[in-house]
Structure 1
Amino acid sequence: MSARDESDSSAPNAPLLAAESPARQHDNQANQTSEGDAEYSSGRFIWFLTFSAGISGLLFGYDTGVISSTLVSIGSDLSNRPLTTLDKSLVTSCTSLFALIASPLAGILADKLGRRRVILVADILFTIGAFIQAVTNEIWGMILGRSIVGLAVGSASLVTPLYVSELAPSNARGRLVTILSLFITGGQVVAYVVGWLFSYVNGGWRWIVGLGILPAIFQLVIVVALPETPRWLAQAGFENKAMTVLHKVYQNNPEGDQIAKQILRDIQQEVAEEEELGRNKSTEDGTQWIASLKHRAHDLFVIGANRRALTIAMMLQALQQLCGFNSLMYFSATIFSLLSFSSPTLTSLSVAMTNFFFTLFAFAYIDRIGRRRILLYSIPVMVVSLLVCALTFSAVKLPKTSPDHAARDAATDSSFLPLTILLCLTVYTAAYAFGLGNVPWQQSELFPLNVRSLGSALATATNWGSNFIVGLTFLPMMELLSPSLVFALYGLVCIVGWFGVRAIYPEMSGLNLEDVKAILADGWGVRESLARARTRSP
């Protein structure tokens, strides 16, 4: 197998080289079959690495999901007064704002220090942020704690998929990266369960936010023993260590030694090509490193294929957030309180469980159905669910006050209307989890190695910038407009997003290294990718 295969369709990791020599093409063809057996290439070692790194996803999900039950449990414990709409919006959105700040920095540090070290820093930030939230008595203290958690979430959301993708064999890469989404949704389920268990305990919200310390410390201990990715090791000049890691990844494959050697040769060729261009000098020289960063930024924005890859990645990440899904994660308990459900936190758990199970469904089918088709099938379901939800909300007679007051004063025309809204939001969540919840995180497969961290960082920053907008504006829009108009607006975003996906997002599943580079070289390559997908279909 070749490094191009090692970095194909589902993978964000291998260098996207230009045309190969005939001799190298022969090596690729001779070795393609060795990675074709996913059972051999996905051994215990890579699964252990994936699950160990995936704890970051668990923390990511827990810390984004936990705020829903926390907001309805704090009462007057902070600053000796009830939380205002502004307080809730700031406490919620500050996490996204600092994740936005952290993600591009994490991309730069991932190239400078390595992927694993950035995960370690994120674990330390998760621990500090959770501790501050648990002990504070002031609103500003909660905002500080949530901001530090945001730095951790922004770093982990960028580096963890990058880490897994750079270690995963190509045939299993889509599923292995999707496991991170499983951890995220699983963390959200845990957050809702913990929120429900402590919702009736005096001061229980402190336990809700403070328990995030445990998985952070657990991962901190584990990650110390994890290896760095072979691609970063080879770039940094540690070829022997890179070979050791590759041997472990492919130890269950009968041709594992041959595969590992071929992958390392291809990585070394990529590094050599960068050195010839003066873009990959010694990382010990700070001036040269800055110059290398400038060259990478130049390549990302000036080279057409890279620029188109960045456009696609940023579009998907923006759509993932602006469709409004995280308004459910952050404010579902508030929404269900507005609709007078007896246990808003427990009701919110149904949304989180749906998110988890349909992410599991995506794990099983993402490499079979394809990224593009999953989005084109699932987004229309989201649109219908949001529009029906908007119409139903228009029939619910609620005063235009804050959700807290509306929860007391709500008077619906019919008892089935809240259940209809719950059903719509559940179907919306299922469609989201199957498509938009997973596909954007396959973003690294779009970029060549020399711009992968930077391109992924900017795309992830787009995600958190959009997340910040949703978290900051949801409650004010609910008050100034109406729930009906808010959900209709999210439906409109999904409609626009569907046309964007149809127009510029090629089918990436099953494409090898040369396919990706060639498809985006002269245009969006949608028709060409679909033609290739049809030829690969049985």
Structure 2
Amino acid sequence: MVEGGISHADKTEFTECWRTAWRTPYIMKLALSAGLGGLLFGYDTGVISGALLYIREDFDSVDRKTWLQETIVSMAVAGAIVGAAMGGWINDRFGRKISILIADVLFFFGAIIMAVAPGPWMIILGRIFVGLGVGMASMTAPLYISEASPHRIRGALVSTNGLLITGGQFLSYLINLAFTHVPGTWRWMLGIAGLPALVQFILMLSLPESPRWLFRHGKEDEAKSILGKIYPAEELEDELQALKTSIEQEKQGEHPGESGIFSQLKGAWGNDVVRRGLYAGITVQVAQQFVGINTVMYYSPTIIQFAGFASNKTALALSLITSGLNALGSIVSMCFVDRYGRRRLMIISMIGIISCLVVLSVVFFQASASAPGVSSVETAYFVVLLGLYIIVYSPGMGTVPWIVNSEIYPLKYRGIGGGIAAVSNWSSNLIVSETFLTLTEHLGSAGTFLLFAGFSLIGLIFIFFLVPETKGLQFEEVEKMLQKGYSPFKKEDKTIEDRHPGN
């Protein structure tokens, strides 16, 4: 199974994932049930782009004040920062399952608050509740899935969470379009998110805790029973032995009083493996946001109106195309992430993103320099480029950062490590979403997209130097690699990547 520290994952493809899931449907049950958190994550982050158009029509104060529009959009992100921070600690202290259940409760009540909101202030309150749930779900769902997946198909299964995120965003645009002429418009758009939260809550009550969390907390028999439903008999003992060895090594390095959150943070940063994992995990999460993706997902109807489509309904319909492409890209990621690797997909994705952002900037500049009004040719260019941007973003930078963060930390620090990285993601998201409209007012659309291209170039450089390849490796093998330290120029590390050529 393992030779020279590397699992033979070269032949693992999307079809292998489904063959395994077909033989062992329990794996897919766990992945899809936990992945509903991704659906809620995607829906609640995507739905506001269309709902905002109608909130502005109902409340003059929102229509007049750009900062109020930005706040309504961004308060979910602010809540997500807190939710991710709390979620990291809750994951390690109480388990992955409890974290998902708490997220569902927050989703449900946030949706109800927004649906009955009498004014902008209550919409903002509901967005904060939803954001808390989004933050917890964003790092817990991929973590739960990765710990309940055979390592050879772990990337593809965690990508199902990415597919459900993008699927949730696509669903949000469908719902937005469906309710454009229904009384209550935005109330239905925002309130309907309570239903999948309720469904997931019920499903999760019948599912087990993460087997790796159980093993780490002394419930070895229960963990072995669950792993026995995931791994074939000939692989189970090897997996249990690797897990037992890893936990014994972790416990040898423990110090009394490390159970508190601040002690855990201090311990995490003082651990070489965790710190190097955080360099990689935070890098990919920050880079994911500073390519400007959520300006497209949150404000795409507004951006499309900038390009000359004035009708709310037309802008929403065209935005449906971008979100559909995003979901399609997640399927591409599922097909190739275990074949070509995490690092390679992200580097290719970043190169494509930079190219698209530069060309989008040129198109916007030409449009602003031309006569008043936007020609049909310019709008066609814009829509095509926006679609290309989504296509190159989604399979790489869209899904892979969450996969990397679900598998790069030692078991003891997996919750807190994923939480720290998720906080960096949502903090970056907040900065980008809260400043986008203001940037377009001061720099213009061309200058804003060119700025994102510059940030993307910096992100590409950091990914190249700091992020190792983890495809096909057992969690314990990832720890050993980080213990030695990673460099793209080290012969040993290049050998690891060369053994996964992708064909």
1:457 is aligned, of 408, 419, 442, to 419
Aligned length: 488
CA shift in 2, pair 1:510/1:272, >3 Å: closer
> Shift in Å at residue 226 of structure 1?
0.7
Question: 2:499 corresponds to which residue?
Answer: 535
2:320 is aligned, of 341, 345, 349, to 349
The unaligned stretches of length 5 or more in structure 1 are 11-32, 282-286, 400-409
2: CA distance between counterparts of 1:43 and 1:289?
36
Give the 3-state SS of the residue equivalent to 1:506 in structure 2.
Answer: coil
1:333 is aligned, of 284, 301, 312, to 301
Asked if residue 71 in structure 1 is aligned to residue 52 in structure 2, the reply is yes
More helix by share: 2
CA shift in 2, pair 1:505/1:129, >3 Å: same
Asked if residue 305 in structure 1 is aligned to residue 305 in structure 2, the reply is no
Asked if residue 377 in structure 1 is aligned to residue 348 in structure 2, the reply is yes
Amino acid at match of 1:389: L
Q: Tell me, yes or no, if the aligned pair for 2:144 and 2:210 is still in contact at 8 Å.
A: yes
> Shift in Å at residue 238 of structure 1?
1.6
1:422 is aligned, of 352, 368, 383, to 383
Asked if residue 212 in structure 1 is aligned to residue 174 in structure 2, the reply is no
Q: Tell me, yes or no, if the aligned pair for 1:9 and 1:513 is still in contact at 8 Å.
A: no
Q: Tell me, yes or no, if the aligned pair for 2:103 and 2:133 is still in contact at 8 Å.
A: yes
CA shift in 2, pair 1:306/1:289, >3 Å: closer
2: CA distance between counterparts of 1:413 and 1:231?
56
Question: 1:157 corresponds to which residue?
Answer: 138
Amino acid at match of 1:52: S
Q: How does 1:54-65 map to 2 (within 5 A)?
A: 54-65=35-46
The unaligned stretches of length 5 or more in structure 2 are none
2: CA distance between counterparts of 1:386 and 1:426?
12
Q: Tell me, yes or no, if the aligned pair for 2:408 and 2:475 is still in contact at 8 Å.
A: no
2: CA distance between counterparts of 1:83 and 1:54?
38
Amino acid at match of 1:132: I
Q: Tell me, yes or no, if the aligned pair for 1:9 and 1:509 is still in contact at 8 Å.
A: no
Asked if residue 493 in structure 1 is aligned to residue 455 in structure 2, the reply is yes
Q: TM-score, normalised by structure 1?
A: 0.85
1:106 is aligned, of 83, 87, 90, to 87
How far does the alpha carbon of each residue in 1:341-380 deviate from its partner, in whole angstroms, 9 at most, with x for none?
1411111111001101111111101111111111222212
CA shift in 2, pair 1:237/1:489, >3 Å: same
> Shift in Å at residue 203 of structure 1?
2.3
1: CA distance between counterparts of 2:286 and 2:163?
20
Asked if residue 472 in structure 1 is aligned to residue 440 in structure 2, the reply is no
Q: How does 1:120-519 map to 2 (within 5 A)?
A: 120-250=101-231, 253=232, 256=233, 258-279=234-255, 289-290=259-260, 293=261, 296-341=264-309, 342=311, 343-397=314-368, 411-412=372-373, 414-442=375-403, 443-513=405-475, 515-519=477-481
Give the 3-state SS of the residue equivalent to 1:74 in structure 2.
Answer: helix
> Identity, % of aligned pairs?
34
1: CA distance between counterparts of 2:422 and 2:31?
20
The CA RMSD over aligned residues, in Å, is: 2.5
Q: Tell me, yes or no, if the aligned pair for 1:300 and 1:455 is still in contact at 8 Å.
A: yes
Question: 1:525 corresponds to which residue?
Answer: 487
Amino acid at match of 2:396: G
1: CA distance between counterparts of 2:397 and 2:8?
17
Amino acid at match of 1:264: L
Q: How does 1:79-98 map to 2 (within 5 A)?
A: 82=63, 84-98=65-79
Q: Tell me, yes or no, if the aligned pair for 1:296 and 1:450 is still in contact at 8 Å.
A: no
2: CA distance between counterparts of 1:225 and 1:354?
34
Higher gyration radius (CA): 1
